[in-house]
Structure 1
Amino acid sequence: MKKRLAALCLALMAVTAPALAAPKPEIEAGFRRFLEAEIWPEARANGVSRATFDAAFRGVEPNLSLPDLQLPGQKPKVEEVNRQAEFQSPAAYFDEKKIAGVVAKGRALLQANGALLQRIERETGVPGPIVLAVWGRESGYGAAKIPYNAFEVLGTKAYLSRRKDMFRAELIAALKIVQEGHLKVSDMKSSWAGALGQPQFMPSKFRALAVDEDGDGRPDIWNSVPDTLASIAHYLQMSGWQRGRPWGYEARFPAGVSCTGEGPDRPRPIADFAKAGVARASGRGFPDAELKRPGHLLMPAGRLGPAFVATPNFYVIKEYNNSDLYALFIGHVADRIAGGGGFDARWPGASGLTRGDVSRLQERLQKQGYDVGGTDGLAGFKTRRSIGQAEEKLGLPATCWPTPALAKKLG
């Protein structure tokens, strides 16, 4: 009897268990075939020599510990836990001790590099504190260790990630960086996402946007502070930075201004915000020069945290890293490097939902006809305002923030 029950359990497990990923030796063999049959011909067509290609991949194996991989035989799924800081709890991301350290170092560097940053601002329109904030966030002003083999990361992601085409292009760009003599293979270290150097440029961004500011004949984002700072500013300039405008303002929004109006696709003159009773948290009025210019409602934690009137420059910062929290961190730290203070409102703690929970909430909203911007488990502005619309439809106060209570109601 026990044997029959055991056999029945095994049979049920075989039916209900998800398909297992291919064994590691199979993945490694497929990786080598992929490199030889697909990447080498494309690299050769882009001027990469066989010697460079072989040196780049000597001893390289796929790194299966990297996030956002889609292994052969494995069903697509959203990870339950979000490993990228920019999409986790706002309260953790804006930890005051961490921010204070970045600000203090940034203020010292603003003094030490004042003339250089002023020159860069004249060239690009991007203020020095913004440039310093990006540098501080990306690599701790050049002090952070960047441990990964770039060819291991980019090769793995070109073969196994959900965005294979993007990483394939970045892999070819990385090979060209070595071929063109910018770095040796042994010096090609990257983040887990394949980003390089002190400003953490993806390889294609380095080739397109890196600047030789120190005049030595080559852009060097690994060892040259002038090149690093100018390259960051050039990146933002080419992304559309509007000279002379701030990134935005922390503000207090009356109850009559709904959080469902958030988003870069819903601009309005800043004067309209003022007429609706929106006031800067600092107590100062909006600058006269800004009143006729477009602004955007921004509530990264819905009604539960600080709120902002953002300018188009906020969304330029998002071109560097497509996260509201990242762009807000850069703007806030830049303001404080320039002498400003902390946030007026407090950030909420963790929502109590995992990334997988938010993805399932998005799926339910999407089925009801809401545009959530994708079911990736990340509460971007389309998800936030859709939540607010659903809350209003249910007769609830609109918070525009994912909560266990709303997930249960929509369940």
Structure 2
Amino acid sequence: MRYLTAILFSLAVAFAAFPASAAKIDDQFQAWLKTDLWPEAKSRGISQKTFDAAFAGVSPNLKLPDLVMPGTKPKTPQKQHQAEFGSPGSYFAPIGNVTAGGRSRAGQYAKTLAAIEKRYGVPGEVVLAIWGRESGFGTAKIPYNAFEVLGTKAFMATRKEMFRKEVLAALEIVQRGLADPGQMKSSWAGALGQPQFLPTSFLKHAVDFDGDGHPDIWNSVPDTLASIANYLVNYGWVKGRDWGFEVTVPDSVTCSLEGPDQGKKISQWTAMGIARIGGKLFPANELKAEGFLLMPAGRSGPAFIVTPNFYVLKEYNMSDLYALFIGHAADRIAHGDKGFSGAWGKVGGLYRSDVAAMQRGLEKAGYDVGSADGLPGFKTRRSIGVWQAKNGRAATCYPDKGLVEAMR
């Protein structure tokens, strides 16, 4: 009984301390707003009225991820097992919802999509795929106060400087009358509205397509769809080109040729024995243009020849799998649900710390892995392939337990 009493007393002390700690952090946050953020906002033309309205009643949200409490240092779990490090195939599980929703809305918004494609050159199915992936075609809840999220992260997140730029951009949106503070609803990461634009992206890419005088990515479907298309165009979307094609890659072609910096004319890839799935021919205009090898799971998954438009899609979210999801979903919206011909192997299952350790080992051996961040991007994948070939192993171009052990 005495032991239970001691436990209850300890818990009571802990819970009593937390509000005090939170109150202290709030005091620090309010001081930061007044003495740090406000002077810079003022220098950028933000009025006191706008600033006060934006942060009225706002306190730091300590439930947000990636926060660093004042007086502490960032900590990354040594063993961090996340979905991204399992089989890439699991990433495509929700694609049916996006494609079904996209096809139903393709007819509903046919005139708007046609007008957008005429103006921007981006196919409607690509715009629909992004809309579906980002916000479930506007049905996803976007409940957060953007100033609470962005302010908290600018004050105490691991990427403070990035979020500082975003909260200042959010203030500019309100200052310019593009949205009221109450309209500034975001995700937990501070992304706004149906296309999930960060505030800097809103200022650069959001457009008024319904003609009411202001871009509204929270409530207007035409503005949302056109803003997505404008975003892609501003990042270099090439009108008339596809995003990419699923292919077969013979053993004679090494997977270490992957990457946007190792492009060849698609006709050159075909001369090496790479062919489209199902015996289809590449369009004549594509054969003359540059393409890039993409093998997101190395030899343990589908392979692709992608175009520069793939890397434009990647600008929306810096992930090969994201861009592939969007391109594949767009194809299925336009041509019917059909999965990849190649199967995703049972790859992944490694802790992020293990992948990072392997990357550091490759770096010590003189390989460029991009960054030893635990994420197996194309530079890591192809470096693995080169190392494997030099060490008498079959080149798979994807991390595995044996490779992690070899690099320790």
Q: Could you tell me the TM-score, scaled by structure 2's length?
A: 0.90
Quick one: structure 1 residues 193 and 349, their matched pair in 2 at CA, closer, same or farther if it must change by over 3 Å? farther
Q: Which moves more between the two structures, 370-379 or 48-57?
A: 48-57
Quick one: structure 1 residues 354 and 87, their matched pair in 2 at CA, closer, same or farther if it must change by over 3 Å? closer
Q: Distance in 2 between matches of 1:387 and 1:65?
A: 38
Q: Is the 8 A contact 1:78 1:377 kept in 2?
A: no
1:115 CA displacement: 1.8
Equivalent residue, structure 2, for 1:344: 341
3-state SS, counterpart of residue 292 of structure 2: strand
Q: Which runs of 5+ in 1 are unaligned?
A: 1-22
Q: Distance in 2 between matches of 1:375 and 1:153?
A: 28
3-state SS, counterpart of residue 303 of structure 1: helix
Specify which of 24, 32, 50 is matched with residue 34 of structure 1: 32
3-state SS, counterpart of residue 398 of structure 1: coil
Aligned residue identity for 1:372: V
Deviations 1:255-277 (A, max 9, x none): 11111111111111101110111
Q: Does 1:311 align with 2:307?
A: yes
Quick one: structure 1 residues 100 and 220, their matched pair in 2 at CA, closer, same or farther if it must change by over 3 Å? same
Equivalent residue, structure 2, for 1:81: 80
Aligned residue identity for 1:155: G
Deviations 1:29-69 (A, max 9, x none): 33222222221011112222222222322332323333333
Specify which of 397, 402, 407 is matched with residue 405 of structure 1: 402
Q: Which moves more between the two structures, 153-162 or 124-133?
A: 153-162
Quick one: structure 1 residues 278 and 196, their matched pair in 2 at CA, closer, same or farther if it must change by over 3 Å? same
Q: Is the 8 A contact 1:94 1:329 kept in 2?
A: yes
Q: Which moves more between the two structures, 299-308 or 151-160?
A: 151-160
Q: Distance in 1 between matches of 2:65 and 2:390?
A: 37
1:26 CA displacement: 4.8
3-state SS, counterpart of residue 293 of structure 2: strand
Q: Distance in 1 between matches of 2:71 and 2:376?
A: 29
Q: Is the 8 A contact 2:86 2:348 kept in 1?
A: no
Q: Distance in 1 between matches of 2:255 and 2:73?
A: 36
Q: Is the 8 A contact 2:117 2:124 kept in 1?
A: yes
Q: Is the 8 A contact 2:262 2:292 kept in 1?
A: yes
Q: Is the 8 A contact 1:351 1:404 kept in 2?
A: no
Aligned residue identity for 2:405: K
Q: Does 1:202 align with 2:201?
A: no
Q: Distance in 2 between matches of 1:34 and 1:299?
A: 46
3-state SS, counterpart of residue 380 of structure 2: helix
Q: Which moves more between the two structures, 370-379 or 158-167?
A: 158-167
1:87 CA displacement: 6.7
How much is the aligned-residue C-alpha RMSD, in angstroms? 1.9
3-state SS, counterpart of residue 397 of structure 1: coil
Equivalent residue, structure 1, for 2:58: 60
Specify which of 48, 51, 63 is matched with residue 50 of structure 1: 48
Equivalent residue, structure 2, for 1:69: 67
Aligned residue identity for 1:357: D
3-state SS, counterpart of residue 54 of structure 2: helix
Equivalent residue, structure 2, for 1:19: none
Q: Distance in 2 between matches of 1:291 and 1:70?
A: 50
Equivalent residue, structure 1, for 2:383: 386
Deviations 1:223-255 (A, max 9, x none): 111111110000001100000000000111001
Task: For 1:9-408, list aligned pairs within 5 A.
Answer: 24-79=22-77, 80-81=79-80, 89-95=87-93, 98-340=94-336, 341-349=338-346, 351-408=348-405
3-state SS, counterpart of residue 296 of structure 1: strand
1:76 CA displacement: 4.2
Aligned residue identity for 1:171: V
Equivalent residue, structure 2, for 1:12: none
Q: Distance in 2 between matches of 1:317 and 1:87?
A: 21
1:380 CA displacement: 0.9
Q: Which moves more between the two structures, 61-70 or 364-373?
A: 61-70
Quick one: structure 1 residues 357 and 75, their matched pair in 2 at CA, closer, same or farther if it must change by over 3 Å? farther
Q: Which runs of 5+ in 2 are unaligned?
A: 1-20
Q: Is the 8 A contact 2:85 2:351 kept in 1?
A: no
Q: Is the 8 A contact 1:78 1:359 kept in 2?
A: no
